[in-house]
């Protein structure tokens, strides 16, 4: 099912995590251009200020502000959430920040495997702390005809390559760490959690929906029109562009590769698109991504997810584990406490 073009963001406040480069920066730019007030989550205040200045340079009159927020550290999440909550009603969280790989198993300040901590646990804790602000935003947004507030997780086609681990050791990759496998597990966690969160929000009658997006196969090389200002290592040099540009452009024409600016379009559609919260037929949660072959590139569409995302028993186990890992530090769980009737089963 195709997703309509993203609508207006006027009157809405959106928090974008990981907003200093890559998908997050392009999404922040485009949300600001759509009229939204954008809070740029950044681990480093200086990088955040430079990213905000870069958005303002491209979007005259952009309403952007910086929130210092390190998703790997739950104590930073608590501080950042308090700052966001003080800013008033919140209409969406684009939970984009992430770690894509590590050289050996690394852990967060709380001792959790780094990709699970950043990609899943930190965002789950953040949303739990911001739920009152999201409910306030959702009520106002619904009254204005924009529909409920949204929590948009950063999924990936990588969620298809693993199955839900049976216990915490599996999710934390304590005995079988391999960087790509741990990354895939973290992305499956994002989608399982989004499905369970959405069920609980709906059962509680709250004006908030949870869904996910995938950027597809997105690379800096193709971002020639507006290179991201704070990309690690800077934009590809002229020799790299001459050598790799032609085959990359060929892959883009075949919808097998796209730039990160294009990869941000599903994120923006998930935040603002009118139909983005309606899952693909039979899917456990809405997942907006590129509609090209293998969901690698192309215009945004609402895509199916792997059958593992519909495993409600696995989602419940992950929810309970997430609650046990974040609550001692944050003082709050990841969302509504009570599971919807019938939501847990084989």
| Residue numbers annotated as active site | 183
Structure tokens given for 126: 């953040």
Please give the DSSP secondary-structure letter assigned to residue 92: E
> What three-state secondary structure class fits 287?
strand
Q: Return the axis-axis angle of helices 179-203 and 312-330, rounded to nearest 10°.
A: 90
SS3 content of the chain, % helix, strand, coil (to 5): 45, 15, 40
Distance CA 316, CA 91 (A): 26
Residue in 266, 272, 292 with CA at minimum distance from that of residue 212:
266
CA-CA distances (angstroms) from residue 315 to 51, 152, 276, 285, 333?
A: 35, 17, 22, 12, 15
> What three-state secondary structure class fits 313?
helix
Q: Return the axis-axis angle of helices 122-143 and 312-330, rounded to nearest 10°.
A: 100
Q: Where do the DSSP E strands lie in the chain?
A: 13-16, 37-42, 63-68, 92-95, 149-154, 208-213, 218-219, 258-259, 287-290, 300-302
Contact 8, 272 (CB under 8 A): yes
């Amino acid at each position: 099912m195709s997703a309509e073009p993203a609508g207006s963001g006027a009157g809405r406040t959106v928090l974008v995590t990981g907003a200093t480069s890559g998908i997050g920066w392009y999404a922040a730019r485009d949300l600001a251009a759509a009229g939204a007030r954008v809070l740029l989550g950044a681990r480093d205040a200086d990088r955040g200020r430079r990213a905000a200045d870069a958005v303002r340079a491209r979007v005259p009159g952009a309403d952007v502000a910086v929130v210092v927020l390190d998703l790997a550290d739950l104590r930073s999440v608590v501080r950042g959430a308090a700052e966001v909550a003080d800013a008033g009603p919140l209409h969406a969280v684009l939970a984009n920040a992430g770690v894509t790989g590590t050289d050996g198993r690394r852990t967060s300040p709380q001792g959790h495997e780094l990709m699970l901590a950043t990609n899943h646990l930190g965002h789950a804790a953040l949303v739990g702390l911001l739920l009152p602000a999201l409910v306030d935003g959702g009520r106002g947004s619904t009254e204005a005809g924009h529909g409920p507030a949204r929590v948009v997780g950063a999924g990936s086609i990588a969620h298809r390559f693993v199955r839900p681990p049976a216990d915490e050791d599996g999710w934390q990759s304590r005995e079988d760490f391999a960087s790509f496998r741990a990354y895939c597990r973290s992305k499956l966690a994002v989608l399982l959690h989004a499905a369970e969160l959405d069920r609980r929000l709906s059962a509680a009658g709250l004006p908030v929906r949870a869904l996910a997006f995938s950027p597809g196969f997105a690379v800096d090389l193709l971002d020639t029109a507006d290179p991201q200002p704070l990309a690690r290592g800077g934009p590809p040099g002229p020799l790299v562009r001459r050598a790799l540009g032609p085959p990359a452009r060929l892959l883009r024409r075949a919808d097998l590769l796209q730039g990160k600016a294009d990869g941000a379009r599903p994120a923006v559609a998930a935040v603002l698109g009118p139909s983005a919260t309606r899952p693909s037929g039979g899917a456990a949660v809405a997942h907006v991504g590129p509609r090209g072959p293998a969901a690698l590139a192309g215009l945004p569409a609402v895509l199916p997810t792997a059958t593992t995302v519909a495993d409600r028993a696995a989602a419940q186990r992950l929810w309970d584990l997430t609650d046990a890992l974040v609550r001692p530090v944050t003082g709050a769980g990841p969302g509504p406490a009570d599971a919807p009737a019938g939501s847990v089963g084989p």
